[in-house]
Amino acid sequence: MAPSRTSITPASSTALITQRNQEDLARSKTLHGHTWDDAHHQDSFLSKLNKKDRGFQSVVVDKYLDNWKEDRPELESDEDKAQRQTSYKAAANSFYDLATDFYEYAWGTSFHFCRFHPREPFHQAIARHEHYLAANMGIQPHHRVLDIGCGVGGPAREIGHFTGAHITGLNNNDYQIARAKRYAVSAGLDKRSDFVKGDFMNMPIDDSSYDACYAIEATVHASTLEGVYGEAYRILKPGGVFGCYEWVMTDKYDPTNADHLRIVRGLEVGNGIAQMLTVNDCLKALKTVGFTIEKNMDMGETDDKIKWYYPLEGDIRQANAFWDYLTVLRTTTAGRAATTYMVRTLESLGLVAPGSAKVSTILQTAADAVLEGAMLGIFTPMYFFVARKPLASSQ
């Protein structure tokens, strides 16, 4: 069972967290420069890259990559694995400081995959994926709902509009929180949403205070699933519901297969993940912390005519709107390579901050691993579950 927390944290721990949060904020503002300002919120992708700190971005990139000292995971020492588990929060924070502008440029403000129906526009499919989760969870207008790992708030805004519920976004990345707040104001949801900084392995939230919580392709960044699921259990009221799309390796994954291990390493390095886990790890963690699993399935393992990974695969025939063509062109193998080449050229001319091309290469590694893992059937970014905290639960 998840431990109780009568007070959020002892005073000394609270002071340490506050200090670290202030340091995180200072680093993020240094890195992003003028893009922090409200006046530059809607700047173009290249304008944002141009405004990054010229000296600091390369330092952040190199420090991020230091989390994976060995290219081949089978040769990695237990000490290096343990160190990466310990530094999960810093790695994920650095990753999203580096990747957020690229994500918004290529994909939009909802950083997740989804299923597609024929003749369904890309962003409509993204929204339907979010609606499906909210509907299966039974979110109601009077509910207080927590979005665990909310990104720049795309799903929080969509689910807020769809359900009428009040959504709180929890995020450890200051740059994303600032952007989420600005988007909420633009969408007219600033009175029915809020965004707070916090580690989802140690949420700054009282016990039994939310009716529902969800995570969309976010809790993969946790050092352990038991840790983050245990926190979800703790903050839910008895009878509360937890819904999720989880990144996991499927039953087809073979940890002794060198190609499978190579793909796993690409997923980890390319997405700021301490360690990829399996479907069984996910289900075991839910049961261990006390949840009752009501629904679970791999949403990626379907007979859909259009595969969820078609934008990465580059099947432009499946695009259904003008903006879909642009999205697919940017996210194909050729499109990703073109973006990296463009950024590298601009970096050599001094028009974007040093390190930008290296970030683009990291994200290209991620997309290649996602696509290869998906086509082999060993990886899914949308293992769906709905789990409930028992009414008679005791913290």
More confident residue, 391 or 1: 391
Coil, helix or strand at residue 163: helix
Region 323-328: what's the mean pLDDT? Answer: 80
State the residue for tokens 């261990």.
Answer: 288
pLDDT band at 4 (very low <50, low <70, confident <90, very high): low
Q: Both tokens of residue 347?
A: 């970096």
Share of the chain above pLDDT 90, in %: 74
Coil, helix or strand at residue 234: helix
What CA–CA distance (Å, rounded) separates 200 from 232?
A: 8
- Give, in order, the Cα–Cα distances in Å from 368 to each of 96, 100, 365: 19, 18, 5
Q: Which of these, 106, 76, 332, 111, lies nearest to 221 by C-alpha position?
A: 111
pLDDT at position 37, please? 80
Sort strands 210-216 and 144-148 into parallel, antiparallel or unpaired.
parallel
pLDDT band at 9 (very low <50, low <70, confident <90, very high): low
On the question of pLDDT at 319 being above 90, the answer is no
Region 45-51: what's the mean pLDDT? Answer: 92
More confident residue, 357 or 72: 357
Q: Enter the DSSP assignment of 33.
A: G
256-291 pLDDT, tens per residue? Answer: 999 999 999 999 999 999 999 999 999 999 999 999
286-308 pLDDT, tens per residue? Answer: 999 999 999 999 999 988 989 99
pLDDT at position 331, please? 82
Beta strands in the chain (DSSP E): 144-148, 166-171, 193-197, 210-216, 236-249, 292-298, 379-388
338-359 pLDDT, tens per residue? Answer: 899 999 999 999 999 999 999 9
Vertex 33, ends 40 and 330: CA angle to 5°?
A: 65
What CA–CA distance (Å, rounded) separates 8 from 235?
A: 11
Region 328-346: what's the mean pLDDT? Answer: 87
On the question of pLDDT at 362 being above 90, the answer is yes
Give the DSSP letter string of 307-349.
-TTHHHHT-GGG--SHHHHHHHHHHSHHHHHHHHHHHHHHHHT
Q: In the beta sheet, which residues pair with residue 298? A: 383
pLDDT at position 80, please? 74
Sort strands 379-388 and 292-298 into parallel, antiparallel or unpaired.
antiparallel
Residue-wise burial string across 83-115, b where 16 or more C-beta atoms lie within 10 A, e elsewhere: ebeebbbbbbbbbbbbbbbbbbebbbbbbbbbb
End-to-end, the C-alpha distance of the chain in Å comes to: 7
128-159 pLDDT, tens per residue? Answer: 999 999 999 999 999 999 999 999 999 999 99
> 0.85 cut: is pTM over it?
yes
What CA–CA distance (Å, rounded) separates 153 from 140?
A: 19
